[in-house]
Amino acid sequence: MKKTISINLAGLFFHIDEDAYKELQNYLAAVKRSMQNEQGTSEIIADIEARIAELFSERISSSQQVITSEIVEDIIDIMGQPEDYNIDDDNNDSNTRTDSTQTTKRLFRDKENAFVGGVSAGLGHYLGIDPLWMRLIWILLVFGLGTGVLLYLIMWILIPAANTTAEKLSMMGKPINITNIEEQVKEGFGNVKEHLDKVTEKVKQQDFNALQTKSRSFFEALSSILSICFKFFIKGIGILLIISGIFAIITTSISFFTLGIFGVTIPGIEINSLLSTPIIPLWLITIILLIVVIVPPLFVVFLGLRLLETKSTFLNKTARISLFILWGVALSCLIALSLQQLVDFNEEAYITKVNELKISKNDTLYLEMSKNSKYTKLTYRDLFKSDTYKVFRDSDQNQLIYGSNIRLIVRSTNDSLGTISIEKSSLGKTYELAKERAENVQYGYRFENHTLKLDPYFTTDISHKIRGQGIEVIVTLPKEAVLYADKNTYSFHRNYDKHQDLLKNGDEEHFLKVKSNELECLDCNKN
Amino acid sequence: MKIENTKAQMRKGVLEFCILSVLEPKDAYVAEILETLKDAKMLVVEGTIYPLLTRLKNSGLLEYRWEESPTGPPRKYYGLTTSGKLFLKELNTTWDALQSAVSVVTQNQTKK
């Protein structure tokens, strides 16, 4: 919806959009200014207005009753730029003047000399070089990881084709050089001046004296130069945004596609085992995730196009709003899901079971992790690696979670016999759930012939999910007993001081006598 | 010296001559003059013509009368004055002379 203004142009009545009105007003003012030296300016302006009115009435129909800015731009194309009205060459240096039939050079696609889309031919005109060189660069870029293809497509879309005679002329127009840049600066500052003139006219109807005008022109020129630099900078950022946005879209699409092929699995862990309650199906979660990651780069591309000031229809307003809403919904879903997951890690429960270990004074305990396991992969503990938990199928095809999160601690006791305590722990939404989970952790060891064989893994059914289950094995030995730990226990008793573990890493495969606060090595080199 | 400037100046120099020639057989309003000039590719944008017409009129070579239009605003029909006709006749001879002079010069150049 737009506001319209009624205008009287050469005695005819028109409805015109507000922005189109401003455009037309600026145009007529600029035309007037460019003919300052001409006699009878008001008569010429009246003729021009009559012609514009005529062109307007040709374009008005029952379905198109309002003059839009497109129509105004169309008419400016027909009528020509303000400097085209200036036919006086006498007063000006002909070297720096803009000639009447050609405006400054613009970048268009040259369809008449096109190989593919005319981008190279157009760039050739614009940069004043043979299009052959441009084509050569494209071919080189295609070999450079195909960036050429992408860049070419972007330029094909963004650069308009030269269709009208005027466009063709401005495509082939003057090459870019200092004189033209100077002209552009002058033109730009003319516009600023015009604008300032209007403002000051409104504020007070008073002429500026020569000094004021002089100082003003200097700052106008300066601001114009700055604004041109700024424009180039902005366009560069725009191109950068478009390229990075498209790159992000492509990479995320590829990664989701490959995830889709492998049935959405993260190596070792199926997503199902991670999710607390599958209230929504997995494919929906995937889609939500996809929306969350792919919408932002789309907007980045849109922003880039905006910065380039193209009138592209890449994302219209409705599409933008609905995409944004969709993204918001998807994001809140994801946050809700994550919170739900977090709640599942709320409470912690421990179950401890202590058994006697028939080791008394002067006995020797051989401690090792059992080796006769099918699951040979889990023979060491590393909490920083992703394979602390794994999902396997047992011989009955039941899915089981295997964990290697086992901590071994050796302590001394004043009792005459040793003990072994197995502490199972787990997390859950409530204490009861956590406790139930801990109870369902299966862990075993064997003790025979003074040898304690600990399983290097625990198991639990997949239905219990991976919720930080862990095992702590505390072996206590009476004083004066001897401990011999196998090398394979190394990773399981990598403990901090707070765990009060007497068995230090590096003491494996030695006979160690238990003292109240340490283990004394019996067969170590004193050095 | 730039080729575009020279080209534009050449075209501009003969534009007044062309306008007068268009109006020689019959009176016309701006859109008609423009159509003829655009068809001949003498003109790219319309803007240039308005100051020229006013200048020719102010020099007394052209005169105009108002006529109602069935669709748009009233039209200015331009026609040649007596001095305009004389002016055009003189321009015609100048043009012929110029044309033959130019062709003699350029053809001589190509023969060498």
The type of residue at A478 is P
pLDDT confidence of residue B6: 77
Q: To probe the interface with B, which of A51, A54, A168, A171 has the most B CB atoms within 10 Å? A: A51
The Cβ-side half-sphere exposure at A412, using a 13 Å CA radius, reads 18
A383-397, B29-43, B84-98 — which is least confidently predicted? A383-397
Disruptive mutation site among B18, B37, B49, B75 for chain A (greatest number of A CBs within 10 Å): B49
Alpha-carbon distance A74 to nearest alpha carbon in chain B (angstroms): 12
A10 in contact with chain B, both atoms CB, cutoff 8 A: yes
Q: Angle at the Cα of B14 (from B10 to B16), degrees rounded to 5?
A: 135
- Tell me, what's the pLDDT at A215? 61
Distance between CA atoms of residues A33 and A195, nearest Å: 12
Residue pLDDT, tens place only, A307-366: 776 666 667 778 888 888 888 888 888 888 778 777 777 888 999 999 988 888 888 999
Please name the member of A53, A87, A166 whose beta carbon is closest to the beta carbon of B44. Answer: A166
B68/chain A closest Cα distance in angstroms = 12
Q: Are A188 and A105 in contact (CB under 8 A)?
A: no
Q: Residue A356 and residue A362: Cα distance in Å, rounded?
A: 17
Distance from CA of B111 to the nearest CA of A (A): 31
CA distance to partner chain B, nearest, from residue A332 (Å): 57
The two structure tokens encoding residue A521 = 């090595």
Q: Can you give the pLDDT at residue A280?
A: 62
Chain A residues 454-493 with a CB less than 8 Å from chain B:
none
Q: How many whole angstroms separate alpha carbon B95 and alpha carbon A451?
A: 122
The pLDDT of residue A193 is: 66
Q: Is A50 on the interface with B (CB under 8 A)?
A: yes
Are the beta carbons of B46 and A80 separated by less than 8 Å? yes
CATH of the domain at B16: 1.10.10.10
Write down the pLDDT at residue A505: 85
> Residues A403-440: pLDDT tens digits?
888 899 999 988 888 999 999 999 888 899 889 989 99
DSSP state, residue A487: G
The fraction of chain A above a pLDDT of 90, given in percent, is 9
Joined together, the tokens standing for residue A481 give: 């007993």
Return the amino acid letter for A207: D
Across-strand partners of A418?
A357
A188 to A19, A183, A332: CA distances (angstroms): 20, 8, 48
A54-104 pLDDT, tens digit each: 888 888 887 778 888 888 888 888 888 877 777 665 444 333 344 333 446
The CA distance from A197 to A191, in Å, is: 10
**Chain B residues whose beta carbon lies within 8 Å of the beta carbon of residue A10:** 73
Q: Look at residue B100 and tell me whether its pLDDT is greater than 60.
A: yes
Q: At what angle do helices A119-127 and A165-172 cross, to 10 degrees?
A: 60
Mark yes or no for CB contact B51/A44 under 8 Å. Answer: yes
Establish if B19 touches chain A: CB-CB under 8 angstroms: no
- Cα–Cα nearest to A482, from A519, A445, A443: A519
Helices assigned H by DSSP within A37-177 = 41-59, 69-79, 119-127, 131-143, 147-158, 165-172
B30 part of contact set with chain A, CB < 8 Å: yes
Contact flag A94-B5 (C-beta cutoff 8 Å): yes
Angle, helices A147-158/A210-261, rounded to nearest 10 degrees: 130
Taking the Cβ of residue B49 and every Cβ of chain A, the question of whether any pair is shorter than 8 Å is answered with no
Lowest mean pLDDT among A20-24, B11-15, B31-35: B11-15
Q: What are phi and psi of A101, to 5 degrees?
A: -95, -10
Q: Would you give per-residue pLDDT tens digits along chain A (527 residues)?
A: 778 888 888 888 888 988 888 888 888 888 887 777 677 788 888 888 888 888 888 888 877 788 888 888 888 888 888 777 776 654 443 333 443 334 467 788 887 777 777 888 888 888 777 777 777 787 777 666 666 777 777 787 778 877 766 667 677 765 444 555 566 566 666 666 666 666 666 555 444 455 555 565 677 777 778 878 887 888 888 888 888 888 888 888 787 766 655 444 444 344 444 555 555 666 777 778 888 888 888 888 888 887 776 666 667 778 888 888 888 888 888 888 778 777 777 888 999 999 988 888 888 999 988 875 555 555 556 555 555 677 777 777 777 888 888 899 999 988 888 999 999 999 888 899 889 989 999 998 989 888 999 988 888 888 888 888 889 999 999 988 999 998 888 888 888 888 888 888 888 889 999 988 888 888 887 55
**Structural domain for B16, as ranges:** 3-111
> Can you tell me the distance from the alpha carbon of A185 to that of A221, in angstroms, rounded to the nearest whole number?
7
Rounded CA separation A488/A494 (Å): 12
> For chain B, how many structural domains are there in total?
1
Kindly list the residues from chain A whose CB atom is less than 8 angstroms away from the CB atom of residue B58: 39-40
Q: Report chain B residues whose CB lies below 8 A from the CB of A99.
A: 4-5, 7-9
Q: What percent of chain B has pLDDT over 70?
A: 94
Q: What was the pLDDT predicted at A97? A: 40
* Chain A nearest CA to B52, separation (Å): 8
Residue A173 with chain B: CB contacts under 8 Å: 4
* Joined tokens for residue A328: 């918001």
B66–A contact, CB cutoff 8 A: no
Instruction: Name which of A28, A33, A44, A167 to mutate to probe chain B: the one with the most chain B Cβ atoms within 10 A of its Cβ.
Output: A44
**Contacts of B59 by beta carbon, 8 Å cutoff, 6+ apart:** none
Q: What is the pLDDT of residue A127?
A: 79
Contact B73 A12 (CB under 8 A): yes
Q: Give the pLDDT of residue A165.
A: 62
> What does the pLDDT read at residue B110?
65
B108 CB near a chain A CB, below 8 Å? no
